[in-house]
């Protein structure tokens, strides 16, 4: 098992090498650079040239690549061309926001999606099953930004129940730089302040629901079909024939086997959310990774885009590795070597 994990981690190296090469070449092939984006159309050629020399963009591309890679090997992910903040610092400050949002969204997706899928499968073609099927189809068809707007309007503007932007009430609390930026943790465990914790939680609800709806629908659909497949297996009939209670059959035989495809989907969705909550973060003014990389793309900030993408690709691979290890735990027939 350990050997397998090490090998999978080693496989990350060629992927990251290839990805960095692809990104550097790709970004330089596209028109525009941080200088043209920063200085605008009306800057003089001298100003542009000075800016490019300052950022080292006038050097040959292979030299830029090697310098960038040399930095990476020393653990230096580079510095933003726009605000001169190091990528590592900015990522560390923003990742907690994205992490809390992703975990809450997946919590919702798994907590509601799996029971929904199981219940639908056990009453196949019933009214409830048809309703769940239609609901999950609409769930995967609804654009996230539209759902976000609806939630904001309904619960924020109309009912005044929940806040529609930010991670906490700026007027009452402050989290200035110090600390972990994991606000749920910070408010509850470090500050022991229940009111503060409730405030953070209230800010989290709408973005988490918006972000979690698509994974929820996907998880419910895959759960339904996985459970249906397992229910028709001979060993389930055998278990029933030898008189096991239906709860025991569900727990020990059905769910355990159905979890394999479900966990694949959960892993993929988690990996996607950790890197891709651009729209949700934009709608709810959530200062996370998606928002940051979106701004980097607007500024054509090469270094931030490159390093950000490398970090996200690494996270994506790691999440899927964890899922694959989970497989071996769930299914004793799978042994990695």
Partner 1 sequence: MAGVALPQVLEAPIKGSSLWRDAARRLMRNPAAMFGLFLIGTFVFVAVFAPFISPYSPTEGTIIHRFLPPSGTHLLGTDLQGRDIFSRILWGARSSLWVSVLSVTIGLTLGVSFGAISGFLGGWVDFWMMRAVDIVLSLPGLLLTITIVLFLGPGLNTIALAIAIENVPIFARLVRSGILALKESDFVLAARSIGASQARILLQHVMPNALTPVIVQGTLALATAIVDAAGLGYLGFGPQDPATPEWGTMLTDTQRYLTSGAAFTALFPGIAIILAVLGFNLLGDGLREALDPRLKR
Query: At CA 247, angle to CA 243 and CA 250, rounded to 5?
Result: 95
Distance CA 59, CA 49 (A): 12
Q: Which residue has the tokens 């029971």?
A: 115
8 Å CB contact between 97 and 186: no
238: left (phi over 0), alpha (psi -120 to 50) or beta: alpha
Tell me how far, at minimum, the Cβ of 313 lies from partner 1, in Å.
4
Per-residue exposure over 76-96, b if at least 16 CB sit within 10 Å of its own CB, e if not = ebbbbbbeeebbeebbebbbb
Distance CA 289, CA 148 (A): 18
Tell me how far, at minimum, the Cβ of 18 lies from partner 1, in Å.
5
Tell me how far, at minimum, the Cβ of 109 lies from partner 1, in Å.
18
Tell me how far, at minimum, the Cβ of 133 lies from partner 1, in Å.
8
Tell me how far, at minimum, the Cβ of 252 lies from partner 1, in Å.
27
Q: Quick one: 165 or 244, whose CB is closer to partner 1?
A: 165
Q: Quick one: 138 or 198, whose CB is closer to partner 1?
A: 138
What is the DSSP-derived secondary structure letter of residue 125?
Answer: T
Please state, as a whole number, how many other Cβ atoms lie within 10 Å of the Cβ of residue 232. Answer: 8
Tell me how far, at minimum, the Cβ of 294 lies from partner 1, in Å.
6
Distance CA 9, CA 13 (A): 8
Bridge partners for 86 per DSSP? 79
Query: At CA 239, angle to CA 233 and CA 245, rounded to 5?
Result: 125
Tell me how far, at minimum, the Cβ of 157 lies from partner 1, in Å.
5
Q: Which of 72, 76, 33, 67 has its CA nearest to residue 51?
A: 33
Handedness of CA 31, 33, 36, 38 (dihedral sign): positive
Tell me how far, at minimum, the Cβ of 146 lies from partner 1, in Å.
4
What is the DSSP-derived secondary structure letter of residue 167?
Answer: S
Tell me how far, at minimum, the Cβ of 142 lies from partner 1, in Å.
5
Helices (H), 30-178: 34-39, 45-55, 61-73, 87-122, 127-141, 144-151
Q: Quick one: 126 or 246, whose CB is closer to partner 1?
A: 126
- Residues in contact with partner 1 by CB under 8 A are 14-15, 18-19, 22, 27, 30-32, 137-138, 140-146, 149-150, 152-153, 157, 272, 275-276, 278-279, 282, 290, 293-294, 297-298, 300, 305, 309, 312-313, 316-317
Q: Quick one: 236 or 297, whose CB is closer to partner 1?
A: 297
What is the DSSP-derived secondary structure letter of residue 186?
Answer: I
Q: Quick one: 186 or 276, whose CB is closer to partner 1?
A: 276
Question: What are the structure tokens assigned to 97, written together?
Answer: 């926001």
Q: Which of 274, 319, 269 has its CA nearest to residue 139?
A: 269
């Amino acid at each position: 098992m350990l050997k397998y994990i090490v090998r999978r981690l080693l496989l990350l190296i060629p992927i990251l090498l290839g990805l960095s090469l692809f990104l550097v070449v790709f970004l330089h092939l596209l028109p525009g650079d941080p200088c043209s984006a920063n200085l605008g159309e009306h800057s003089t050629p001298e100003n542009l040239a000075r800016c490019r020399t300052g950022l080292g963009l006038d050097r040959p591309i292979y030299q830029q690549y090697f310098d960038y890679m040399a930095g990476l090997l020393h653990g230096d992910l580079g510095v933003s061309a726009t605000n001169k903040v190091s990528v590592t610092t900015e990522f560390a400050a923003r990742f907690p926001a994205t992490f809390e949002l992703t975990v809450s969204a997946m919590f919702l997706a798994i907590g509601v999606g799996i029971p929904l899928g199981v219940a639908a499968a056990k009453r196949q073609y019933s009214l409830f099953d048809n309703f769940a099927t239609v609901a999950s189809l609409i769930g995967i068809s609804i654009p996230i930004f539209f759902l976000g707007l609806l939630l904001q309007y309904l619960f924020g503007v109309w009912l005044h129940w929940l806040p529609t932007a930010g991670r906490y009430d700026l007027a009452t609390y402050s989290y200035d730089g110090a600390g972990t930026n994991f606000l749920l943790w910070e408010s509850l465990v470090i500050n022991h302040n229940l009111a503060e914790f409730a405030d953070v939680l209230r800010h989290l609800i709408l973005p988490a629901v918006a972000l979690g709806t698509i994974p929820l629908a996907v998880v419910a659909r895959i759960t339904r079909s996985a459970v249906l497949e397992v229910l028709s297996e001979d060993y389930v009939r055998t278990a029933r024939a030898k008189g096991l209670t239906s709860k025991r059959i569900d727990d020990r035989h059905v769910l355990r086997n159905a979890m394999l495809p479900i966990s694949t989907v959960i892993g993929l969705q988690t990996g996607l959310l950790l890197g891709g909550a651009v729209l949700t973060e934009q709608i709810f003014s959530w200062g996370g990774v998606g928002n940051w990389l979106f701004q980097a793309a607007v500024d054509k900030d090469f270094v931030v885009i490159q390093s950000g993408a490398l970090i996200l690709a690494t996270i994506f691979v790691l999440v899927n590795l964890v899922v694959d290890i989970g497989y071996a735990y769930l299914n004793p027939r799978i042994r990695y070597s």
